[in-house]
Structure 1
Amino acid sequence: MTTVTTNPFLAKSLDSAARSLDIPPGKYQEAVERYTAVANWLDAPGTTLKPHAPAVTVQGSFRLGTVIRPVVHGKEADYDIDLVCRLDAPGPSMTPRRLKHLVGDRLKESGNYSRMLDKEGRRCWTLNYAEADGVGFHMDVLPSAPGTQTTLLAAEIRGVPTIFASHAIEVSERRAEEQYIWLPGGSNPEGYALWFESVNREAMLREAPLQRRMLYESNRTVFASIQSVPDALIRTPLQRAVQVLKRHRDVRFAGHPLETEKPISIIITTLAATAYRGEADVAAALAGILERIEDFATSGIILHDGDRWVIPNPVNPGENFADRWNDAGSKRAEAFFKWVAWARQDIAVAEADASETGTRTKVAESLGVSAGASSGTSKSGTPVLVHTDTVPSVAGTSHCRPPLWPVNLTHRVDVSGSVRRSMYSAKALWPLTDRPVPKNYAIRFEASTSVSPPYDVKWQVVNTGAEATNAGPGQLRGGFDDGENTNGRVRWEGTAFRGTHWIEAFVIKNGVCVARSGHVHVKVR
């Protein structure tokens, strides 16, 4: 089943914003020329590499068609290009160190590449290109060798089709100054790209004819004919969705305390492709992808066994993309699900706007772009347009009444909230988080408790700020209200006043308050 959206302007606004993040056709051609030159240099006759039959392929977001300008420290950064240099005839004496330095030494033999070469990375050699137009590239070259028969068999035993598993490679990893190992489990970027393309194939066939013609008409100085427009510049709803999600992540975590824990691109790309159901536009694709990610317990695209999170690599199931979520003290899982809620909120707010201009503006704000920007035009180092939700902090609360019952806290009660478009709406737009909720929405609160029935849940709502104060008698609230449903566990409230407010649940059993949730703050902008 595919997802549909109700705002006719949303898909167009998202697609336009994604185009502004994409690499322009002219800059794409420059990138192709750059990495083709590197490939030719590595494979030149008469060199130390030539006997090893180096095969250079482009991988990563350039290969997948999901490339965007990265955001680093709140500024537009250079494009990243990933190359894999596979030595197809490494020989029995090949060690991880020798593999790494065969490629690095060949790059250093070029005067140009030697000047552009960064210090040795853990797995890659990085070339830094500074372009005259201020939009540069970082090119990561990954030395590799063919995967072993053991690696291939392990992938096939786990159900990976041979067409994907056969592209596995061995990768050198530098652990210390002179300590190199073969990366445990190897890697398979080519197999991953083929898997992604298999998910994307039907949409690509549907989108390619019209997009190829449009790209040719607007870039006649770049392409000689319609047929010369490469598939790499066609964008399906899945590819646009991945671009939007990656950019949204970069913008929403810019300067956030969890910025270093933000979701990595391979997780976003894998989950998006796994959750995609062939939706015909980017708005529907995003809505469906985020809904299935959030409902991972049902969709099964994220595995959670006790305290362990697993997002398997689809072409190497022994590799867990979420492995670092399980590190002691890690907040990566928290950051991921917080971001999913933010993304759902921003899309829902844009969808709720009835005008084309309003929809376009809200989408642009959430992605840190200008509403009328064209693709890839801003120079590296340009500050990103990060939209901040400023809400007054908690104001005076002298109107908050103390509990009406004796208090003996022997149990727990937790409160969750989901934002709705209106009171008693069946559809949850996004879960309540620490991000502000727009005015004139509704929130459904629900209490879950360890107290055994029978009991009653009472709710205390405390509004603060100038708007609630000026609204008239009683609008600051502060008393106690009954809930709905069994035992009063549900409470509905509207978001009428700008400011920071709170709600708290009290569980009453035999006339005694045996559990209270503490303040659940709600910011309204």
Structure 2
Amino acid sequence: MKRKSRKDHFVRALMIREPATFRPQRRAYTRLSARFFHLVDAIAQAHEPTPTQLAALERSYNSTGDFLSECPEFSGLLVQVHSHGSRRLGTIVRPRDGSREGFDIDLIARLAPSARYKYGGDQGPALLLDHLHRALSRYARAHGLRLHRWERCATLEYAEGMCADIAPVIDAPLLSGPHGDTHGLIPDRELRLFNSTNPRGYAKRFDLAAAISPNFPTAEIIAKAMDSARRADVAPLPDAEEVFDRLLCRLVQLLKLHRNVAFGSVKEQDLAPTSVFLTTLAAMAYAVEAPMPHASPLELLLDIVERMPLQFERRRLPGGAEEWVLPNPSAPTDNLAESMNDPLRQGAFFAWHGRLLEDIKRILDAIENHEGLDVLLKAVKIAFGSRGFTAVQQMEMGRQESSRRAGRTILLASSAVIPVNVAARPHTFFGA
């Protein structure tokens, strides 16, 4: 009988329509939290752009913005070109397309409110997109770049595999609603209309959620224990304050990286949940859970992940189908779950969510039960792919070598004072 693969089980689970009921056993151990977040840091950093790559991204889109500001198509109308999405939020990771080393960024070409007069009527959205494409075509030819045209934006392929999605947005402030001053309109060629959007308002909402301080009643004990773990293990572990400050951003990166591995490269029928859907669910769940008392950062993270499927509305439609609704609080009529309104995608989300919890549990078991580096690396590779595997492997090998050097130094220093017999302590990689 042919043994079914993990992928087969995942495909069969696509028809699951309820949130996963699996609930990993709670671990309030501070040391386990420190180790887990150290591991997450290593994995996330391996998928982040280097300072050199970030500088190249900044130069590229600043150059593009300067060019657009001087184009006759937008004479006197272009206010600003700015980044949004993961680059702005601090949650950027490598793209799902593993064939290139570059990163993707999202840019907004902001136009003044007066642009609504130039691009009004049924043909206005298409005309605005035509003007953007015409201007960017000249830029692409001048710099030897490739340009792709879409229904709501255009994509420039810069050097070294970097890509920028550039969308035009007309400022359209609202008199009411949160962050209404940054509200705008984005064109849709196919629908021949402008949709409500607010990328700057969305970023502000995310920042407000991320700024909420987690409620750890034993925070002082946690910090001391984590500092103790850092000293005991020689190799640097994340400082407690650093873990708390960037917890939401790291969680979003964790979700996106796991999604990328679970769904693989982009296919013709892509069932993966969108980044904005996952980011919004994580931010909303964090805003609810962070003020509540939690014994450790790890317990908080698990509660946030488990709460995510409860953060959007599921409306039953005639015939048994569902419509998912996740309103953008800064942009009326913008449903951030709109792309999820397909039965296969909805089933895939719940299947992925269950797999995420299982994979986290497998990693925690390997850490807590001292199952060895090979077991831990296998669990990391299943959850976060080859790059995550390599990052943790290099980190652990470096920690082992640092521990050996420190052990030799301590032994030599001790023997210079008084002869002692020191029994070698067996290495448990992640400690008790």
Class of the TM-score when normalised by the shorter of the 2 chains: 0.5 to 0.7
Q: Which of 290, 302, 323 pairs up with 1:287?
A: 302
Shift of 1:351: 0.8
- Is the CA contact (8 Å cut-off) linking 1:113 and 1:127 kept in structure 2? no
Distance 2:200 2:296 in 1: 27
* Two-structure CA RMSD over aligned residues (Å): 3.0
Q: Is 2:96 aligned against 1:81?
A: no
Q: Does structure 2 retain, via aligned residues, the 8 Å contact 1:17–1:363? A: no
1:309 to 1:53, Cα distance in 2 relative to 1, 3 A: closer
Q: Which residue of 1 aligns with 2:92?
A: 67
| Distance (Å, rounded) in 2 between the aligned partners of 1:66 and 1:41 | 28
Aligned to 1:444: none
The alignment status of 1:125 with 2:142, answered yes or no, reads no
What is the distance in 1 between the residues matched to 2:150 and 2:142?
15
Residue 506 (structure 1) aligns with: none
Q: 2:193 aligns with which of 182, 187, 193?
A: 182
Change (3 A) 1:181 1:5: farther
Counterpart residue number, 1:246? 256
Partner of 2:235: none
Residue 56 (str. 1) matches residue 81 (str. 2): yes
Shift in Å at residue 42 of structure 1? 1.3
Residues 129, 54 of structure 1: alpha-carbon distance in 2 compared, 3 angstrom cutoff: same
> Which position in structure 1 is the counterpart of 2:171?
146
Shift of 1:203: 5.6
* Alignment counterpart, residue 282 of structure 2, candidates 266, 272, 279: 272
Q: Of 28, 44, 48, which aligns to 1:18?
A: 44
Return closer, same or farther for 1:308/1:173 CA change in 2, 3 Å cut-off: closer
Q: Give me the whole-angstrom Cα distance separating, in 2, the residues matched to 1:326 and 1:119.
A: 26
Name the CA shift for 1:23/1:325 in 2 (closer, same or farther; >3 Å): same
CA distance in 2, matches of 1:257, 1:48: 36
Note closer, same or farther for the CA distance 1:99–1:168 as it changes in structure 2 (3 Å cut).
same
Flag the 1:316–1:70 CA change in 2: closer, same or farther, 3 A.
same
Does the 8 Å CA contact 1:107/1:114 hold for their aligned counterparts?
Answer: no
Q: Which runs of 5+ in 2 are unaligned?
A: 1-25, 215-243, 317-321, 393-432
Instruction: Select 1:345's aligned residue among 351, 358, 361.
Output: 358
Say whether residues 1:334 and 2:351 are aligned partners: no
The CA deviation string for residues 449-505 of structure 1, in whole angstroms up to 9 with x for no partner, is: xxxxxxxxxxxxxxxxxxxxxxxxxxxxxxxxxxxxxxxxxxxxxxxxxxxxxxxxx
**Given the alignment, which residue of 364, 371, 378 partners 2:389?**
371
What CA deviation, in whole Å up to 9, does each residue of 1:171-216 have, x standing for no partner? 12121xxxx72234x2111111111111112469xxxxxxxxxxxx
Equivalent-residue separation in structure 1 for 2:299 and 2:44 (angstroms)? 15
| TM-score, length of structure 1 as denominator length | 0.55
Q: Distance in 2 between matches of 1:274 and 1:256?
A: 27
- Shift in Å, 1:372: 3.9
Give the aligned residue type for 1:367: F
Partner Cα separation in structure 1 for residue 45 and residue 28 of structure 2: 20
Deviation, structure 1 residue 77: 5.8
Q: Distance in 2 between matches of 1:241 and 1:40?
A: 35
Q: CA deviation at 1:315?
A: 1.8
CA deviations 1:100-127 (Å, max 9, x no partner) are 2333222233364574242321111111
Larger relative helix fraction = 2
Q: Is residue 246 of structure 2 the alignment partner of residue 236 of structure 1?
A: yes
Question: How big is the shift at 1:240?
Answer: 0.8
Instruction: Tell me the secondary structure at the aligned position of residue 27 of structure 1.
Output: helix
Amino acid at match of 1:348: K
Q: Following the alignment from structure 2 to structure 1, what is the Cα–Cα distance between the partners of residues 261 and 245?
A: 22
Q: Distance in 2 between matches of 1:130 and 1:370?
A: 25
- Residue equivalent to 1:411: none
Q: Cα gap change, 1:203/1:47 in structure 2, threshold over 3 Å: closer, same or farther? A: farther
Q: Distance in 1 between matches of 2:193 and 2:212?
A: 37
**Residue 198 (structure 1) aligns with:** 208
Amino acid in the other structure paired with 1:106: A
Q: Which amino acid aligns with 1:138?
A: C
Instruction: Assess, with a 3 A threshold, how the Cα gap between structure 1 residues 194 and 312 changes in structure 2: closer, same or farther.
Output: same
Q: Percent identity?
A: 28
Unaligned runs of 5+ in 1: 205-233, 375-525
CA contact (8 A) 2:277 2:337 kept: yes
- Per the normalisation by structure 2, the TM-score is 0.66
Larger relative contact order (CA 8 Å, sep ≥ 6): 2
For 2:51, the aligned partner's letter is P
- How far apart are residue 362 of structure 1 and its match? 2.2
| Residues in 2 aligned to 1:361 and 1:86: alpha-carbon distance in whole angstroms | 46
Contact 2:68 2:74 in 1 (8 A): yes
Summarize deviations over 1:218-266 as a string: whole Å, max 9, x none.
xxxxxxxxxxxxxxxx971111111111110111122799962121111
> Residues 99 and 258 (structure 1 numbering): CA distance in 2 closer, same or farther, change over 3 Å?
closer
